[in-house]
């Protein structure tokens, strides 16, 4: 082969670039695998449900909703477009946070390389990947992963611009755009540009004009939202943020720092205190090392971390609310913590390799259990709406309505089971509940009610009283902290009651015969009218059973008289009591003739009141084929 045809040997710079990009790509793929592993394992929680609900609103309604809430709109607008592309399933909505977190890893890899070379890039990216805090928000449908990404982007642009003041205008555009988007993602992002401007004032005053212009441009881009939501911002500041005199220090400060390093661990891992102390020591080592080489960067990272911690500690927490709950506001500290920790580890490796290796091994051994803990954490069954949604899917009709007092409940349904059900918001005040329910049942035959930590039988709630008088309870079941109840619109009581039975203790019941035929899966409605002229002893509940003699009931409705609002213990009755019952027939009920029986019984002994007349009182109905 001629010499001219010999392949040329790759140059060292080309090889280094390939190694650089290959390592970065491998780290990003590793982050994707870790963040995406069983990403839909954990059930959605309130804030995620709210995010999904808002993202499905029309743009103008979305902005109006957020103007009355505590967050600016950038993330929700992005999520709205993402939902249109991918759907609202848990994996789909959480994958947006996964994507932004992977891009954060890439940005921190690039920033680490400019500060500490190739080894520093790998360490910085690896620390961000295994950070329990980053992992938590990479798997949650909230704006904090986007906030971390925009913080990293702004810091990287700041790094390029301070290293080379005559840098390309594209870096200025990245800085201005990233800052404006960051402010439009979360108000806590303001800590970062404030720290950057303060650093320029202290160390680069000659370049202050450029930075003020850039900051002003970002503020102008953010200003329309400030004007739109100004009243909400003022009330938020007065309601949630205290003054400097209320700044919490000591153990509360440690409680704010620890989740930034080890995440939100539900139980106490013995390695958490060690990992926290070791990480802080390494970060402080990084501050000292960076101060000697790139003082301006060390100062801005330090100010950003301190500002984030101060914000967490300035929040007014309600009684019983842990300071760690506010750690989400410290997302601007994460990129700085990773960069400083990587710098500290490299400093230790250069001073004494064995010391650096020991620190790296110790940090990995104590931090990784916190990183892996969420994958083995059992789901909170009390807050898991998946079984509840499945139950509604099984029993609901397409024209049913759902009364969801909280919008996050609507977000859950939109994610777990999007469908034709019509959702209505809950009453803002107890007195407006009956009016809302009346309007809903005027348009729908059946109403599902989602009671979070509330009971439909509570007589002190006006909505419950109204439902008792105007609807019949078909189904109720507790799913953790939420009671699911199905009501059907009440049918008017007849003017004349064609059938009557007399029970012991002079109890009489009047009723209308059931329909001659009904299909499986339908609701069998029955009005009863009870009378008595004396005190009733030993019986406290009413039953209505549909079944075959000497066999368990195929469908039943057992509860206190008038659903507990007129208990038998309060008899004798001055007037006849209307008692509404609705039986939900199983969808697989075998066709045939069934007995419909009603009476009263003692819930302690299951002894029923004896029927005196007519003998063997019961009505019959035929369950027809579902076809």
How many residues make up the chain in this entry?
Answer: 627
Say yes or no to pLDDT of 252 above 70. Answer: no
Q: Distance (Å, rounded) from C-alpha 273 to C-alpha 279?
A: 10
pTM for the structure as a whole: 0.89
What whole-number percentage of the chain has pLDDT above 70? Answer: 89
Say yes or no to pLDDT of 531 above 90. Answer: no
Say yes or no to pLDDT of 362 above 90. Answer: yes
The bridge status of strand 499-503 relative to strand 611-613 is antiparallel
For residue range 106-156, what is the model confidence (pLDDT) as tens digits?
Answer: 999 999 999 999 999 999 999 999 999 999 999 999 999 999 999 999 999
Asked if residue 370 lies in contact with residue 351, where contact means CB atoms within 8 angstroms, the answer is no
What pLDDT band is residue 574 in, cutting at 50, 70 and 90? low
For residue range 552-565, what is the model confidence (pLDDT) as tens digits?
Answer: 899 998 888 766 66
- Measure Cα distances from 469 to 448, 452, 526 in Å: 17, 22, 14
The mean per-residue pLDDT over the stretch 41-50 comes to: 94
The bridge status of strand 507-511 relative to strand 555-559 is unpaired
Please, is 125 exposed, middle or buried when counting C-beta atoms within 10 Å of its C-beta (0-12, 13-18, 19+)? buried
Q: What is the pLDDT of residue 245?
A: 46
Pairwise pLDDT comparison (5 vs 567), residue with the higher score: 567
The mean per-residue pLDDT over the stretch 488-517 comes to: 86
Domain 386-489 grouped into CATH 1.10.357: no
Phi and psi angles of residue 158, each rounded to the nearest 5 degrees, phi first: -60, -40
The highest-level CATH class for domain 499-623 is mainly beta
Say yes or no to pLDDT of 414 above 90. Answer: yes
Q: What is the pLDDT of residue 422?
A: 93
Q: Distance (Å, rounded) from C-alpha 348 to C-alpha 359?
A: 8
The bridge status of strand 517-518 relative to strand 619-623 is parallel
CA 449 to mean position of chain CA atoms: 20
Asked if residue 161 lies in contact with residue 171, where contact means CB atoms within 8 angstroms, the answer is yes
386-489 and 499-623 agree in CATH topology: no
The mean per-residue pLDDT over the stretch 53-78 comes to: 93
Pairwise pLDDT comparison (165 vs 301), residue with the higher score: 301
Which one-letter DSSP state was computed for residue 523? E
Contacts of 134 (CB under 8 A, 6+ apart): 101, 104, 128, 145, 148, 334
Say yes or no to pLDDT of 384 above 50. Answer: yes
Say yes or no to pLDDT of 214 above 50. Answer: yes
Say yes or no to pLDDT of 197 above 90. Answer: yes
The bridge status of strand 541-547 relative to strand 555-559 is antiparallel
Pairwise pLDDT comparison (38 vs 562), residue with the higher score: 38
Q: Distance (Å, rounded) from C-alpha 103 to C-alpha 95?
A: 12
> Which residue matches tokens 């009005």?
527
Q: What is the pLDDT of residue 551?
A: 85
Say yes or no to pLDDT of 92 above 60. Answer: yes
427: its two tokens = 């009453």
What pLDDT band is residue 9 in, cutting at 50, 70 and 90? low
- Measure Cα distances from 347 to 113, 120, 445, 606 in Å: 15, 10, 71, 77
Answer whether the bond into residue 217 is a cis peptide, omega within 30°.
no
Coil/strand/helix, residue 306 = helix
Q: What is the pLDDT of residue 237?
A: 58
Q: What is the pLDDT of residue 324?
A: 66
- Measure Cα distances from 193 to 82, 154, 155, 616 in Å: 28, 8, 9, 83
For residue range 438-458, what is the model confidence (pLDDT) as tens digits?
Answer: 889 999 999 999 999 988 888
Say yes or no to pLDDT of 287 above 50. Answer: yes
Q: Distance (Å, rounded) from C-alpha 483 to C-alpha 155?
A: 48
* CA-based nearest residue to 422, from 406, 399, 456: 399
Pairwise pLDDT comparison (99 vs 242), residue with the higher score: 99
What pLDDT band is residue 49 in, cutting at 50, 70 and 90? very high
| Averaged pLDDT of the chain | 87
Q: What is the pLDDT of residue 239?
A: 59
Q: What is the pLDDT of residue 4?
A: 46
The mean per-residue pLDDT over the stretch 316-342 comes to: 83
Please report the sign of the dihedral spanned by the C-alpha atoms of residue 151, residue 153, residue 155, residue 157. negative
Say yes or no to pLDDT of 84 above 50. Answer: yes
Lowest mean pLDDT among 25-29, 63-67, 156-160, 503-507: 503-507
Q: Distance (Å, rounded) from C-alpha 449 to C-alpha 424?
A: 10
Pairwise pLDDT comparison (212 vs 168), residue with the higher score: 212
What pLDDT band is residue 341 in, cutting at 50, 70 and 90? very high
Q: Where are the domains of the chain?
A: 13-376, 386-489, 499-623
The mean per-residue pLDDT over the stretch 578-592 comes to: 89
Query: Around Cβ 142, how many Cβ atoms within 10 Å?
Result: 21
Asked if residue 282 lies in contact with residue 363, where contact means CB atoms within 8 angstroms, the answer is yes
Q: What is the pLDDT of residue 242?
A: 57
What pLDDT band is residue 430 in, cutting at 50, 70 and 90? very low
For residue range 459-489, what is the model confidence (pLDDT) as tens digits?
Answer: 888 888 888 888 999 999 999 999 999 999 9
Q: What is the pLDDT of residue 286?
A: 95
Say yes or no to pLDDT of 243 above 60. Answer: no
């Amino acid at each position: 082969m001629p010499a001219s045809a010999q392949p040329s040997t790759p140059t060292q710079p080309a090889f280094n670039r390939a190694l650089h990009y290959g390592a970065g790509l491998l780290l990003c793929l590793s982050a994707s695998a870790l963040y995406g592993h069983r990403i839909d394992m954990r059930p959605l929680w309130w804030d995620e449900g709210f995010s999904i609900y808002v993202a499905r609103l029309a743009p103008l309604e979305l902005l109006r909703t957020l103007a009355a809430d505590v967050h600016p709109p950038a993330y929700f607008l992005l999520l709205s477009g993402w939902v249109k592309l991918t759907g609202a399933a848990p994996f789909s909505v959480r994958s947006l946070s996964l994507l932004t977190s992977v891009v954060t890893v890439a940005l921190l890899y690039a920033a680490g390389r400019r500060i500490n070379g190739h080894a520093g890039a790998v360490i910085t990216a690896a620390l961000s990947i295994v950070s329990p805090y980053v992992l938590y928000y990479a798997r949650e449908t909230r704006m904090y992963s986007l906030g971390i990404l925009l913080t990293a982007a702004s810091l990287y642009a700041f790094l390029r611009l301070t290293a080379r003041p005559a840098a390309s205008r594209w870096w200025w555009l990245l800085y201005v755009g990233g800052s404006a988007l960051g402010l439009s993602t979360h108000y806590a992002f303001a800590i970062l540009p404030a720290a950057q401007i303060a650093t320029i004032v202290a160390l680069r005053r000659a370049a202050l004009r450029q930075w003020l212009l850039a900051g002003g441009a970002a503020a102008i881009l953010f200003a329309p939202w400030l004007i739109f939501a100004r009243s909400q911002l003022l009330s938020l500041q007065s309601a949630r943020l205290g003054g400097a005199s209320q700044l919490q220090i000591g153990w509360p400060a440690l409680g704010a720092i620890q989740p930034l390093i080890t995440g939100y661990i539900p139980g106490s891992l013995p390695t958490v205190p060690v990992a926290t102390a070791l990480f802080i020591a390494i970060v402080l080592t990084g501050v000292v090392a960076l101060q000697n080489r790139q003082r301006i960067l060390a100062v801005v990272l330090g100010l950003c971390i301190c500002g984030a911690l101060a914000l967490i500690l300035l929040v007014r927490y309600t009684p019983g609310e842990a300071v760690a709950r506010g750690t989400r506001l410290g997302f601007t500290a994460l990129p700085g913590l990773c960069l400083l920790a990587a710098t500290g580890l490299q400093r230790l490796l250069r001073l004494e390799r064995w010391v650096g290796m020991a620190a790296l091994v110790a940090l990995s051994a104590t931090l990784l259990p916190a990183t892996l803990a969420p994958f083995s954490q059992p789901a909170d069954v009390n807050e898991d709406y998946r079984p509840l949604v499945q139950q509604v899917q099984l029993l609901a009709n397409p024209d049913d309505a759902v009364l969801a007092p909280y919008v996050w409940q609507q977000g859950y349904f939109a994610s777990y089971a999007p469908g034709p059900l019509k959702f209505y918001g809950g009453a803002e005040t107890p007195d407006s509940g009956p009016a809302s329910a009346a309007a809903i049942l005027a348009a729908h035959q059946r109403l599902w009610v989602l009671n979070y930590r509330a009971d439909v039988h509570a007589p002190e709630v006006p909505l419950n009283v109204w439902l008792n008088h105007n609807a019949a309870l078909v189904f109720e079941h507790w799913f953790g902290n939420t009671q699911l109840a199905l009501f059907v619109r009440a049918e008017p009581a007849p003017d004349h009651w064609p059938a009557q039975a007399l029970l012991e203790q002079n109890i009489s019941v009047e009723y209308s015969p059931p329909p001659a035929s009904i299909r499986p899966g339908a609701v069998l409605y029955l009005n009863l009218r009870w009378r008595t002229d004396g005190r009733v002893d030993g019986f406290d509940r009413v039953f209505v059973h549909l079944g075959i003699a000497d066999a368990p009931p195929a469908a039943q409705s057992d509860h206190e008289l008038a659903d507990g609002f007129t208990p038998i213990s309060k008899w004798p009755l001055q007037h006849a009591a209307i008692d509404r019952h609705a039986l939900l027939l199983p969808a697989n009920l075998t066709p045939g003739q069934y007995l419909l029986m009603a009476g009263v019984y003692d819930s302690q002994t299951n002894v029923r009141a004896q029927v005196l007349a007519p003998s063997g009182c019961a009505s019959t109905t035929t369950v027809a084929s579902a076809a």
